[in-house]
A and B are shown apart, each in its own frame.
Chain A
C-alpha cells in the first residue's frame, strides 16, 4: 500500500514537472493521456488497487483520486495559460492594414433635382399639403385657357410652346395641375405639384425641359399677406437660414395681384437678387372656370423653378450639367 502511494506521489511530481515545462497545448494533450488516459500511469495504479485489502482500498483510492484531481487542475491551469499565449501569438500573425479600401458594390446617388425636390416637398407635406402629379402632354385648355390665357393672348406667345397636333401641347408650366386638382378636389385644399415643364428655349441659361414646383392653396380667408408668410417660411426652411427676399410686382394672367419672388444670394463676390419664381392671389376667373365661388374662396399660388433652386443650393453655375448626366457629376450627390 505504501508503495502505491509513494508511486502516486512520484507520478504527481513527474506530471507537475512535465506540465510546467510543456511548450504548447499539444504537449499538454500528450501529458494528459500519459498520466490520466486509459493506459495512463495513474490509471495503472488505480487498476492495481484490486490487490489491496478491503480496509486499505478506499483510503488509498481516495488518496490517489486526490492526486488525480491535482494533476487535472495543474493541467487545466497550464492549458489556460498556453491557450492565451497561443491566441496572443496568433493576434500578431493576423494583423491587417485597416486603411485598405473596403470591398463590395459602389454607392449610387439620386439626382440633385430629385434631392432638392424632396426638400421642397418635405416643407409642404409638413404643412399639410398634398403632393399631386399630372400629365406632361397636356391640352391647351388646362395649360392656357382655364388659366385665363385665352387664344391670341400675348402671354401665350411668350411661352414658346411645343405643339403636337390639334390642341395638344407639352405643358409649359405645372400650373395646369392647379386646374386639374381643383376639378377633382373640393376646397379648402392645399396641394403642391412638382414636375417637368417644357419651353422651346435652349441656351446657356435655359434647357428646353425644366422642373417646377407649383403650390396652390384655396381657403375661405387666405390673403396676399399669408402668401408672403408662407413663402418666407419656405425660403427660410430651404436655405436653412433667414435670408433676404423680396416680392416684386409682376404679371401672370392667372393671379391678381401677382409677384415675382427674389432672394438675395452671393454670386461670386457680389450679392445679387436671384429670381425664384412667380406667385399671387388666384384670379377669380380661374376659380370660376372650375366652379369655385370666388366670392367665398380665395386661392394662393406660386410656381418655383426647382432646377434654379438646385443650382443655388449646390452652387452649380451651368444648367447643362443638370441634364448631361455625367457620372462624375452625379456621383457627388
Chain B
C-alpha cells in the first residue's frame, strides 16, 4: 500500500515530518518500507506557452519555438518533440535550470540556431519511465509558475507493508484514521459537492447470489463526457500511487478507490440489456475481460450479468462486452460489497489479481458503498457534466455483515498485557480508533465500526489498546513458573555428541535442500519412489529426497569443480519415504568420503585413497556412541554402490543403513575423478542403549598365539571369526586379524590371514598344553570347514 503525504494532508490536518510519521506508523503496526520523493530534485522549470513553431532551417526533425514564460521577452527554443505545436502549455527548463541526473541547461547553438532553454517531457523531469513527447499541461495553467509548485511535486511517497488483517488501511482515508488515532486528532468527514438527481431515471437491479453479494448499489449517469482529459491534479495523484490514467470515468473510479477504499466499476449503459443481476454463472458461460483475457465460467463464479450475459467477474474485473470507450456518454456506476472469500476464490481460480480483488479479498468497509457512489458521482458531474439518476440499491438482510459489540474487561487488559492502564487512557484510545466504548461494570461494551471488521474478540481490542498505548511502554516482567524435568533434553545432548564426533572425525557438515532433482534422485533412490511437489520452483528442486546422498554428491561435485581434491562431508536431516500411502519422515545421517584419506602432508609414505574400511571405522564410531555391540555389515548390493564393495548395516538384526564405495559407472557419469565412499544410517532406530553392566578385568596372565592361514577370498572374515569363537569357548579373550595379503604362491583366489588368538581365564592361570590343544583344534576346524591351510 502506497500513499503520498499531500493527499493524506488533504484529509487530516497534521503537520508532521515524514520520517516521524513513518516511525509512528511502523510502531503502530503499519510497517513503513520506504519513503521516496514523488519527483527527483530539479529546479528552474516553469510553465510556458508555445507561441510560434517554425521549421529549423538546417534540420528536418527540429523546430524553433517562441515560448512565453511570463517574462518580458519570449524565448527562442529549439525542440525535437513530435507533439510540439502552437498554443500548448509545457514545462520549460530555462537557462540556468538543473534537471535530474545533473543535467544543466545552458544557452546552446543547435545546428546554427540559438536555443535558450528546453521544452520538457515527463521523462526529462523524472516523472515517468517513458513518454511520447512533451508533457502537455492544461490550458488554464498559469504561465511562469514554477512547475514544482504547479504539480505540487514537493511531496513524498510512503510505502507500507500492510498485514493481511488491515484491509481498512488500503486507502488514504484508512491511513488517515490511523494517523488520527495515534496523534489524537479529530478526523472530519470527507465532503463532496451536491448534485441534482433525476429520480425517474432508475436502472433495475436484482441479486440472485445474495450470499456472495449482500449489498449492491448503482446509478445511471447520462451525458458524461468520457472523452475529457482527466484533470492534471487527479492524474498526478494516480501517477504517484502507481495507477496509469486510462479514461476519465475509469480514472475517477480509481481515484475514489484509492481515497476511500471502495472499488467501483462503470459500465457503458448502452451495452447493458435489461437490468443488472448479481448471480452465479451458468456452466459454459464465457466472458472476455477488459484486459482481453477470455475465461470460462462455472457455477461457482460470481458475476454481474445483464438480462442476457455476464458483464463482469464480480470484484475482479469488468467485461469487454460492457466496457466504456471514447464515445460512451451514458454509464451505469456500480458500488458493491462482495464477500471476501468469494472474491478470493475466483481471483485465485482464474489467477487474475487486480486492485479491486486485492481490496475485496482483505475486506471492504461494508457501510461504504453508498458514500463512495455519491462521492464518485459528484466528481464526475462536477468535472465532466452529466445527469445522475436515482440510486438502485439492494441489501440482503440475511447475509449483510452484522455490526458487533465486544465486551472488554479491565481485568483482561491486565491479564493479557501484564500491566494496568488507566481507564481514561483505554477509553480515549478506543474512541480515537473510531470505536464506541460504553462504560459497564468491569470495563466497556465496545461497538466496532464497519471498517474494523478484523476486530472480533476481546483479545483483538486488547491489542488495539496496546499498540496505540505503545508496546514500548509495556515493561519486561520476569516469568515465574514451576520447575520441570525435560526428558528430551538428554536425548538432544546425544545428537550433539554425534555432531561433535563427525567434526572430530574430520567431516564438514553440509545442509542441502530437502527437495532435489528427479534425475539425481533416480540414480540413488535404489527403487524408492520420491514424493513429487505439485508446484516446484524448478525441475532442479522438484521431488522430496529419499536419501541424503544426492544432495551430498552435488556438494561434492561443486567443491571438486573448485579445485578441492578431497572431501569429507556429512549431513543430518529428514528423508522422505512413501510407505503404504504414508510419508515416513525419519532423521538420517549420511556421509561421503572422497579422495585421499589424509590431507596432503609431509612425512607421508604415499598417497592413500580413503576406502570402504576407512569409512567403516567412522560408521563404527557412530554406532559406538549408542553403545550397540551387535553390529553387522552384511554384503548387499545397492543401486548406487559397487556391487562387491557394499554392505547393509544391521544393528541387533535390524537393517539401519548402507555403506559402500560409489559404483564406478555412477562415478564416471557424475565426473568424480576420485574414489568415493558413502554411508547412510537411519537415526530413528538408534535409541540410546546405554550399557548398564561393566565387568572387572581378569587378574590372570594372557597367553597369545599367532596363526597364519591361506584361505579362499570368498569366505568372509565374520564367518571365520565366528567359527573361532564357537570353538574356543570362554577361554578366548580376544581374536583379531593383524595382516591380510595375497601373492602368487598362495594362489589367485586365496589370501593369507594372520590371526592373533588371545587366551585368558578369569579364575586361574592357563597351562601351555590346554592352549596348544585349543589352537590345534581351531586350525583343524578351519582346515576342515573352510579348506584353509596353515602357513609357515
Contacts and interface: CB of A to CB of B under 8 A. Distances in A.
Contact of A224 (B29, B417, B576): B417
B716 interface: no
Contacts of A125: 486, 489, 492
B481 A103 contact: no
B472 interface: yes
Contact of B509 (A109, A165, A326): A109
Contacts of B348: 157
Interface stretch (B129-137, B262-270, B369-377, B595-603): B595-603
A300 B669 CA distance: 52
Given A135-B585, A154-B164, A228-B474, A101 B507 contact: no
A164 B164 contact: no
A256 B463 contact: yes
Given A256-B460, A298-B415, A108 B503 contact: yes
Given A257-B416, A325-B558, A105 B506 contact: yes
Nearest to A151: B341
A17 interface: no
Interface residues of B, number: 92
B475 interface: yes
A164 B598 contact: no
Given A202-B537, A224-B416, A322-B511, A110 B457 contact: no
B240 interface: no
25 contacts: A107-B503, A108-B504, A110-B503, A111-B511, A125-B492, A137-B576, A155-B164, A162-B534, A165-B534, A170-B514, A200-B535, A223-B417, A225-B475, A228-B475, A228-B476, A229-B477, A248-B26, A248-B31, A248-B471, A249-B467, A256-B457, A256-B459, A257-B459, A327-B508, A327-B559
Interface residues of A, number: 82
A323 B513 contact: yes
Nearest to A256: B459
Nearest to A201: B537
B499 interface: yes
B603 A249 contact: no
A-B pairs, top 10 by smallest CB distance, nearest first, are: A225-B418, A249-B29, A251-B163, A223-B418, A257-B463, A225-B477, A249-B467, A229-B476, A154-B164, A325-B510
A331 B344 contact: no
A230 B418 CA distance: 14
Nearest to A133: B587
B73 interface: no
Contacts of A232: 476
B16 interface: no
A298 B341 contact: no
B579 interface: no
A323 B512 contact: yes
A64 to B, nearest CB: 45
Interface string A101-141: 10111111111011000100100010011111101110000
Most buried by B among A101, A132, A209, A223: A223
Nearest to A196: B514
Nearest to A283: B459
A143 interface: no
B656 to A, nearest CB: 19
Interface centre among A125, A219, A249, A331 (most CB of B within 10 A): A249
Interface in B458-486: 459-460, 462-463, 466-467, 471-472, 474-479, 481-484, 486
Determine chain B's interface SS by DSSP, over half rule. Answer: mixed
Contacts of B164: 153-155, 158, 251, 253
A126 to B, nearest CB: 10
B27 A248 contact: yes
A274 interface: no
Given A128-B486, A163-B534, A250-B163, A331 B506 contact: no
A326 B559 contact: yes
Contacts of B504: 107-108
B562 interface: yes
B508 A331 contact: yes
A131 B496 CA distance: 13
Contact of A110 (B26, B499, B567): B499
A154 B604 CA distance: 64
Interface in A307-333: 322-328, 330-331
Contacts of A223: 415-418, 477
A97 to B, nearest CB: 11
A130 B486 contact: yes
A107, A118, A131, A162: residue with the most chain B Cβ atoms closer than 10 Å:
A162
Contacts of B362: 154
Contacts of A128: 481, 483-484, 486
Contacts of A158: 164
Nearest to B507: A108
Interface in B497-528: 499-500, 502-515
Contacts of A73: none
Nearest to B574: A136
A257 B559 CA distance: 47
A84 interface: no
A268 B443 CA distance: 50
Given A107-B506, A114-B499, A229-B478, A129 B511 contact: no
A221 B481 CA distance: 9
Interface in A205-246: 208-209, 217, 219, 221-226, 228-230, 232, 246
A185 B565 CA distance: 50
B505 A105 contact: yes
Contacts of B463: 249, 256-258
Nearest to B509: A111
Interface string A256-286: 1111100000000000000000000101100
A108 B502 contact: yes
Contacts of B484: 128, 188, 190
Nearest to A104: B598
Nearest to B587: A133
Contacts of A113: 511
Given A131-B492, A223-B415, A281 B29 contact: no
Contacts of B419: 225
A105 B537 contact: no
B496 A118 contact: yes
Interface centre among B341, B418, B512, B534 (most CB of A within 10 A): B418
Nearest to B572: A114
B472 A247 contact: yes
Given A125-B486, A130-B486, A298-B415, 16 more contacts: A105-B505, A108-B502, A110-B502, A110-B509, A155-B164, A200-B537, A226-B418, A249-B27, A250-B31, A251-B163, A251-B166, A256-B459, A257-B416, A257-B462, A325-B569, A330-B510
A105 B573 CA distance: 25
Contacts of B483: 128
B165 interface: yes
A100 B511 contact: no
A211 to B, nearest CB: 8
